[in-house]
Amino acid sequence: MQKNVSLYPLKFRPLYKDYIWGGRNLEKLGKKLPGGKVAESWEIAAHRDGMSVTSNGPFRGRTLEELVFSLGESLTGTISHKKYKNRFPLLVKFFDANDWLSVQVHPDDVYAAVHENDSGKTEAWVVIDALPDSMIIYGFNRKMDRKELAEVIREGRLKEVLGYRRVRKGDVVYIPAGTIHAAGSGILMAEIQQSSNVTYRLYDFDRKNPDGTSRPLHIKKALDVINFGRTPVNSFMGGIRTCPSPGLAVEYLVADPHFCIQRVTIEKEAGFTADGRSFHALVAISGLGELEWDGGSLPVKTGESVLVPASLGDYRIRGRITMLKSFIGDLCRDIICPLEEQGFSPQEIKSKVAGLSNAIDAVGSEHPL
């Protein structure tokens, strides 16, 4: 590792995944794809199934894992380092649901640690583009328990009990671990998730791999981890839009114990601060801009992602661009207090920011909601 190198915003080489449900729609984001189907572009990742490699600056060629171990909390932040030590906690990706994903569910941290030696997987989708009739599966269309679901699966009737929902450009879908779900065809999304690659499939639409084999199902484990008491409507919230300065809109979309997500729209320029508590993972979903800091600048355009080190300090983004900003947050300081200061009531905050109820349950009664 180079000595005395000042930290700077990092870009990484995309990691492409060729799952059978992919297509070519990532080209709409400006991606230069390899041949064949491309389902996902892992943008910022430090997982055994995919490791980001730095593509800019003095750390070019270094993996994100190497940088996390070498730079510690100066890169990841005091909050992230306290919770996750030398492990980068998020996996940021784009994905092209050119065909239906499998009907699936992800485990929580406890189950994943015991059974998979991995993290649990809570995730959130932000729809970048969708066909007019695009659908997702989310939960069930009626109340279910484990015994009944197992019987439905044995009888081949799973599709009869699934909950379907239409989605459109701009929608946010919050998917806590334990939620049965699938994305339908014609959807292009950004995904922010825990750094995990554990998926339990319940149904794969009877598809075959190119070699004629079927992808494995994981019925028992799926039944173990499904949260049968979850109310699906709680995960389709519109967020809260604020305008902290002229030409800047910040939408508070998700506040989960594992990550917070904001959608930031800049009309001309806006300033931000990485104050040492968490990195900022920025994903450009439309437009073009320039990220400037004390020491340099970096162009950013649709389909690109940037990891801003936690200790970078003040930075600015100039241009006309919409980005997702993800970070490991403090519930009061980063979500509740700023929104209350802008006049939003506690009940309004809780009812419009996805994941906030989960976060409150996780941190306890110290918070005012």
Burial pattern 213-227, b for ≥16 Cβ within 10 A else e, equals eeeebbbebbbebbe
Determine contact, residues 300/284, Cβ cutoff 8 Å. yes
Alpha carbon distances (Å) from 359 to 85, 260, 353? 20, 10, 11
For residue 110, count CB atoms less than 10 angstroms from its CB and return exposed for 0-12, middle for 13-18, buried for 19 or more.
exposed
For 101, which DSSP code? P
Strands 50-51, 15-17: pairing is unpaired
Given the residues 87, 166, 201, 263, the one annotated as active site: 201
Strand partners of residue 125: 173, 191
Of 42, 39, 59, 60, which Cα lies nearest the Cα of 51? 42
Of 263, 177, 252, which Cα lies nearest the Cα of 222? 177
Alpha carbon distances (Å) from 114 to 15, 87, 242, 368? 28, 18, 41, 34
Q: Is 201 a catalytic residue?
A: yes
CB under 8 Å to 161, separation ≥6 — which residues? 140, 141, 142, 144, 149, 152
Of 220, 207, 240, which Cα lies nearest the Cα of 351? 240
Task: Decide: helix, strand or coil at residue 223.
Answer: helix
Task: Decide: helix, strand or coil at residue 185.
Answer: coil
As given in the structure block, the two tokens for residue 298 are: 């970096």
Catalytic residues: 201
